[in-house]
Amino acid sequence: MAVLVLAEHSNVALNDVTAKTVAAAKAFGGDVDVLVAGHNAGAAAQAAAKLSGVRKVLHAEGEAFSHALAEAVEALVVPLMSGYDAFFAPATATGKNVAPRVAAKLDVMQVSEITKVIDASTFERPIYAGNAIMTVKSSDAKKVITVRGTAFQAVDASGSASIETIAAPAGPFKSAFVSEEISKSDRPELASAKRVVSGGRALASAEQFNQYILPLADKLGAGVGASRAAVDAGYAPNDYQVGQTGKVVAPELYVAIGISGAIQHLAGMKDSKIIVAINKDEEAPIFQIADYALVGDLFKIVPELTSKL
């Protein structure tokens, strides 16, 4: 058996979720190869070659890969799949964009966002935003899988796989990159941060969100998240959103500030190792899952916590 893993990377660096997807692929079994499709992505390919348990890295270079255009990645991956039994992609914006295209071209029903590999055809995945866990068995000859990174322990970087350069499909493709606005921040990326500080609607304005949440996050070296209510109210940008319709995180420490704990939010953070909740409403549902509950006025508590840490 052999598995092709799609690497998530920024061309210059490999995203940590790749090592977690490799871990899922190893649990599936067989040889694991990693595909780095990028533009000037030599550094990412070298990092992928160091992932423990990887047989080889396939490195494809192309302008269309610099922004991982779905049509281009599909054209690259589908022909490669004649040599593989499974395609594993991280369930990131990129992986979710590309994997179903590959699945449809192979006439395979994708198993989305798996959290556990039971055997080579059986997987666990959350449905209804994590309100239920479904175990499914795939009857397709080849498997196409997306992997929820937070559910797998990253493989270490002690390997030394070979790197093979492969040809990239020429195009032209029917979509083209125009522009991007990526928020520049020195803070850890939300999805992979070891600590996360999240703010909710109780922050009451974007100014107060920034004034109270950000200094605490920086003191803790944490990524910043928000509830959907805070995002909808415009207090925080959408890519901060933690929950069913946003990002799923499972850091070592999750600090929920002024978040009541709607089902949709809990779905995105309840697998965190330690949850701290700060809320003035003693009855807030967030307290039912928090390890440490502090009832009180966040506008007093948060600055005090920030200064004492």
Partner 1 sequence: MKVLVPVKRVIDYNVRPRVKADQSGIDLANVKMAMNPFDEISVEEAVRMKEKGLATEIVIVSIGPAQAQETIRIGLAMGGDRGILVQTDATVEPLAVAKILKAIVDAEQPGLVIAGKQAIDDDSNATGQMLAALLDWPQATFASAVSKDGDTLKVTREVDGGLQTLALQTPAVVTTDLRLNEPRFASLPNIMKAKKKPIDTKSPADYGVDITPRLSVVKVTEPKKREAGEKVADVDALIAKLKSVGAI
Q: How far is the CB of 30 from partner 1 (least distance, A)?
A: 21
Task: Look at residue 57 and give its three-state secondary structure.
Answer: strand
Q: How far is the CB of 159 from partner 1 (least distance, A)?
A: 25
Does 297 interact with partner 1 (rule: CB under 8 A)?
no
How far apart are alpha carbons 308 and 2 in whole angstroms? 52
Q: How far is the CB of 145 from partner 1 (least distance, A)?
A: 12
Question: Among residues 41 and 99, whose Cβ is nearest to partner 1?
Answer: 99
Residue among 177, 205, 281, 297 that touches partner 1 (CB under 8 A): 177
**Residue 28 carries which side chain, given as an amino acid letter?**
F
Residue among 175, 205, 281, 297 that touches partner 1 (CB under 8 A): 175
| Burial (CB count within 10 angstroms: exposed 0-12, middle 13-18, buried 19+), residue 13 | exposed
Residue among 104, 154, 166, 204 that touches partner 1 (CB under 8 A): 104
> Which run of H or E residues covers position 173?
none
Q: How far is the CB of 65 from partner 1 (least distance, A)?
A: 14
Task: Look at residue 9 and give its three-state secondary structure.
Answer: strand
Question: Among residues 32 and 114, whose Cβ is nearest to partner 1?
Answer: 114
Please choose, out of 21-29, 81-89, 178-186, 201-209, the segment that lies near partner 1 by the rule CB under 8 A: 178-186
Both tokens of residue 27? 């649990």
Question: Among residues 35 and 243, whose Cβ is nearest to partner 1?
Answer: 243
Residue span 250-269 as binding mask against partner 1, x where in contact by CB under 8 A, dash where not: --xx---------xx-----
Residue among 193, 220, 229, 256 that touches partner 1 (CB under 8 A): 220
Residue list 57-76, contact with partner 1 (CB under 8 A): 67, 69-71, 74
Both tokens of residue 24? 């899922």
Q: How far is the CB of 9 from partner 1 (least distance, A)?
A: 12
Question: Among residues 158 and 172, whose Cβ is nearest to partner 1?
Answer: 172
Please choose, out of 51-59, 151-159, 201-209, 271-279, the segment that lies near partner 1 by the rule CB under 8 A: 271-279
- CA-nearest of 231, 210, 232, 214 to 223 is 214
Both tokens of residue 100? 């179903």
Return left, alpha or beta for 262; rule: phi > 0 is left, psi -120 to 50 is alpha, else beta.
beta
Q: How far is the CB of 259 from partner 1 (least distance, A)?
A: 15
Residue among 171, 233, 289, 299 that touches partner 1 (CB under 8 A): 289
Size of the site for partner 1 (CB under 8 A): 84
How far apart are alpha carbons 77 and 69 in whole angstroms? 12
User: How far is residue 163 from each of residues 44, 82, 284, 307, measured CA to CA in Å?
Assistant: 11, 20, 52, 49
- Give the sign of the dihedral formed by CA 146, CA 11, CA 231, CA 271: positive
Both tokens of residue 104? 């449809």
Residue among 18, 21, 110, 198 that touches partner 1 (CB under 8 A): 110
How far apart are alpha carbons 158 and 163 in whole angstroms? 15
How far apart are alpha carbons 308 and 51 in whole angstroms? 39
Which residue reads 């920030």 in tokens? Answer: 306
Does 12 interact with partner 1 (rule: CB under 8 A)?
no
Question: Among residues 31 and 124, whose Cβ is nearest to partner 1?
Answer: 124
